[in-house]
Protein backbone atom coordinates (compact mmCIF):
# COMPACT_ATOMS: atom_id res chain seq x y z
CA UNK A 1 0.00 0.00 0.00
CA UNK A 2 1.09 3.58 -0.52
CA UNK A 3 2.26 5.97 2.18
CA UNK A 4 -0.66 7.05 4.33
CA UNK A 5 -1.13 10.26 6.28
CA UNK A 6 -0.57 9.86 10.01
CA UNK A 7 -3.74 9.60 12.08
CA UNK A 8 -4.16 11.61 15.29
CA UNK A 9 -5.13 8.74 17.58
CA UNK A 10 -5.17 10.86 20.75
CA UNK A 11 -7.64 13.32 19.21
CA UNK A 12 -9.80 10.39 18.10
CA UNK A 13 -9.81 8.87 21.59
CA UNK A 14 -10.70 12.22 23.16
CA UNK A 15 -13.55 12.77 20.69
CA UNK A 16 -14.84 9.21 21.13
CA UNK A 17 -14.79 9.22 24.94
CA UNK A 18 -15.71 12.84 25.67
CA UNK A 19 -17.80 13.91 22.67
CA UNK A 20 -21.39 13.11 21.81
CA UNK A 21 -22.43 9.78 20.36
CA UNK A 22 -21.10 9.96 16.81
CA UNK A 23 -24.10 8.18 15.28
CA UNK A 24 -26.71 10.20 17.16
CA UNK A 25 -24.79 13.41 16.34
CA UNK A 26 -24.70 12.46 12.63
CA UNK A 27 -28.40 11.62 12.59
CA UNK A 28 -29.13 14.87 14.44
CA UNK A 29 -27.33 16.90 11.78
CA UNK A 30 -24.38 18.04 13.93
CA UNK A 31 -21.96 19.75 11.48
CA UNK A 32 -18.87 18.20 13.10
CA UNK A 33 -20.22 14.69 12.51
CA UNK A 34 -21.03 14.76 8.79
CA UNK A 35 -20.68 11.54 6.82
CA UNK A 36 -21.55 10.45 3.31
CA UNK A 37 -24.71 8.37 3.46
CA UNK A 38 -24.83 5.12 1.49
CA UNK A 39 -28.08 3.66 2.82
CA UNK A 40 -30.98 4.45 5.13
CA UNK A 41 -34.36 3.05 6.04
CA UNK A 42 -36.65 3.39 9.05
CA UNK A 43 -34.40 1.28 11.31
CA UNK A 44 -30.89 1.53 9.89
CA UNK A 45 -28.34 3.94 8.47
CA UNK A 46 -25.03 3.26 6.68
CA UNK A 47 -22.33 5.78 5.84
CA UNK A 48 -18.72 6.02 4.76
CA UNK A 49 -16.27 6.55 7.58
CA UNK A 50 -14.54 9.94 7.53
CA UNK A 51 -11.06 8.47 7.99
CA UNK A 52 -11.00 5.25 5.94
CA UNK A 53 -8.18 2.77 6.14
CA UNK A 54 -9.63 1.00 3.10
CA UNK A 55 -11.58 2.61 0.27
CA UNK A 56 -15.30 2.12 0.82
CA UNK A 57 -14.97 1.54 4.58
CA UNK A 58 -18.60 1.80 5.74
CA UNK A 59 -20.34 1.85 9.10
CA UNK A 60 -23.84 0.37 9.45
CA UNK A 61 -25.89 1.33 12.54
CA UNK A 62 -29.36 1.04 13.95
CA UNK A 63 -31.00 4.47 14.08
CA UNK A 64 -32.00 4.11 17.71
CA UNK A 65 -29.23 4.27 20.25
CA UNK A 66 -28.42 0.67 21.17
CA UNK A 67 -25.17 -0.46 22.74
CA UNK A 68 -25.34 -4.25 22.53
CA UNK A 69 -26.64 -6.46 19.77
CA UNK A 70 -26.75 -9.33 22.26
CA UNK A 71 -28.91 -7.71 24.96
CA UNK A 72 -30.55 -4.70 23.26
CA UNK A 73 -31.96 -6.42 20.16
CA UNK A 74 -34.50 -9.16 19.81
CA UNK A 75 -33.56 -11.91 17.36
CA UNK A 76 -35.90 -10.69 14.59
CA UNK A 77 -34.53 -7.12 14.85
CA UNK A 78 -30.95 -8.42 14.79
CA UNK A 79 -31.67 -10.56 11.73
CA UNK A 80 -33.21 -7.57 9.89
CA UNK A 81 -30.15 -5.50 10.83
CA UNK A 82 -27.77 -8.19 9.59
CA UNK A 83 -29.80 -8.40 6.38
CA UNK A 84 -29.05 -4.72 5.86
CA UNK A 85 -25.36 -5.27 6.69
CA UNK A 86 -25.30 -8.00 4.03
CA UNK A 87 -27.12 -5.83 1.50
CA UNK A 88 -24.66 -2.95 1.99
CA UNK A 89 -21.69 -5.35 1.80
CA UNK A 90 -22.98 -6.73 -1.51
CA UNK A 91 -23.27 -3.20 -2.89
CA UNK A 92 -19.71 -2.44 -1.72
CA UNK A 93 -18.38 -5.55 -3.45
CA UNK A 94 -20.30 -4.64 -6.60
CA UNK A 95 -18.71 -1.18 -6.53
CA UNK A 96 -15.09 -1.86 -5.54
CA UNK A 97 -12.66 -4.68 -6.37
CA UNK A 98 -12.74 -6.76 -3.20
CA UNK A 99 -10.67 -9.78 -2.18
CA UNK A 100 -12.37 -10.08 1.22
CA UNK A 101 -15.11 -8.13 2.98
CA UNK A 102 -14.21 -7.54 6.60
CA UNK A 103 -17.21 -7.27 8.93
CA UNK A 104 -16.99 -6.54 12.61
CA UNK A 105 -18.75 -4.85 15.49
CA UNK A 106 -16.41 -2.56 17.35
CA UNK A 107 -16.86 0.22 19.88
CA UNK A 108 -17.16 0.09 23.62
CA UNK A 109 -19.32 1.48 26.39
CA UNK A 110 -16.34 3.76 27.09
CA UNK A 111 -16.40 5.29 23.61
CA UNK A 112 -18.31 4.90 20.36
CA UNK A 113 -20.96 3.09 22.38
CA UNK A 114 -23.70 3.24 19.72
CA UNK A 115 -23.90 -0.21 18.15
CA UNK A 116 -22.31 -0.18 14.71
CA UNK A 117 -20.97 -2.69 12.24
CA UNK A 118 -17.83 -1.99 10.23
CA UNK A 119 -17.64 -3.14 6.61
CA UNK A 120 -14.18 -2.83 5.13
CA UNK A 121 -13.52 -4.09 1.59
CA UNK A 122 -9.96 -5.37 1.27
CA UNK A 123 -8.76 -4.75 -2.29
CA UNK A 124 -6.93 -7.49 -4.22
CA UNK A 125 -3.15 -7.43 -4.05
CA UNK A 126 -2.64 -6.17 -0.51
CA UNK A 127 0.38 -8.00 0.93
CA UNK A 128 -0.65 -10.50 3.59
CA UNK A 129 1.22 -8.63 6.36
CA UNK A 130 -0.96 -5.58 5.64
CA UNK A 131 -4.27 -7.46 5.68
CA UNK A 132 -6.73 -8.33 8.46
CA UNK A 133 -6.38 -6.21 11.63
CA UNK A 134 -3.47 -4.25 10.18
CA UNK A 135 -5.65 -3.10 7.26
CA UNK A 136 -8.40 -1.65 9.46
CA UNK A 137 -6.31 -0.03 12.20
CA UNK A 138 -6.16 3.74 11.81
CA UNK A 139 -2.88 3.71 13.73
CA UNK A 140 -1.37 2.41 10.48
CA UNK A 141 -2.60 5.52 8.67
CA UNK A 142 -5.72 6.46 6.80
CA UNK A 143 -6.36 7.05 3.12
CA UNK A 144 -6.00 10.58 1.77
CA UNK A 145 -9.52 10.88 0.36
CA UNK A 146 -11.32 14.06 -0.58
CA UNK A 147 -14.84 15.04 0.32
CA UNK A 148 -15.71 14.99 -3.37
CA UNK A 149 -14.31 11.51 -3.98
CA UNK A 150 -16.16 10.18 -0.92
CA UNK A 151 -19.41 11.81 -2.08
CA UNK A 152 -19.03 10.21 -5.52
CA UNK A 153 -18.26 6.81 -4.00
CA UNK A 154 -21.29 7.05 -1.68
CA UNK A 155 -23.53 7.84 -4.68
CA UNK A 156 -22.16 4.84 -6.58
CA UNK A 157 -22.69 2.48 -3.64
CA UNK A 158 -26.23 3.85 -3.09
CA UNK A 159 -26.95 3.18 -6.76
CA UNK A 160 -25.85 -0.42 -6.38
CA UNK A 161 -28.16 -0.90 -3.40
CA UNK A 162 -31.12 0.67 -5.16
CA UNK A 163 -30.81 -1.59 -8.22
CA UNK A 164 -30.36 -4.75 -6.16
CA UNK A 165 -26.62 -4.95 -6.93
Residue 98 forms part of a structural domain = yes
Residue 87 forms part of a structural domain = yes
Residue 1 forms part of a structural domain = no
The pTM of the full predicted model, rounded to 2 decimals, is 0.88
- Contacts of 55 by beta carbon, 8 Å cutoff, 6+ apart: 96, 121, 123, 143, 145, 153
Residue 3 forms part of a structural domain = no
Residue 2 forms part of a structural domain = no
**Residue 165: per-residue pLDDT:** 47
The total number of residues written for the chain in this structure: 165
82-116 pLDDT per residue, tens: 999 999 999 999 999 999 999 999 888 887 888 99
Which DSSP state fits 128? Answer: G
Write out 61-79 in H/E/C secondary structure. Answer: EECCCCCCCCCCCCHHHHH
Predicted confidence band at 1 (pLDDT cuts at 50, 70, 90)? very low
CATH number of the domain to which 30 belongs = 3.30.428.10
- Across 12-16, 111-115, 143-147, 152-156, which has the greatest mean pLDDT? 152-156
153 CB neighbour count, 10 Å cutoff: 21
Residue 68 forms part of a structural domain = yes
Query: How many structural domains does the chain have?
Result: 1
Residue 4 forms part of a structural domain = no
Residue 150 forms part of a structural domain = yes
Domain that holds residue 92: 9-162
Q: What is the mean pLDDT of residues 15-44?
A: 87
138 CB neighbour count, 10 Å cutoff: 17
Helix (H, G, I), strand (E, B) or coil at 44: strand
- Contacts of 120 by beta carbon, 8 Å cutoff, 6+ apart: 53, 54, 56, 57, 58, 101, 102, 103, 135, 136
Amino acid sequence: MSVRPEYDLEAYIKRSTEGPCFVCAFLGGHPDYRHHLVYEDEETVAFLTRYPTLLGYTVVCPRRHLESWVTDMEVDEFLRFQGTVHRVARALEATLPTERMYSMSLGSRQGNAHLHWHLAPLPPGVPYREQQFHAVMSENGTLAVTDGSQAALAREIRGRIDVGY
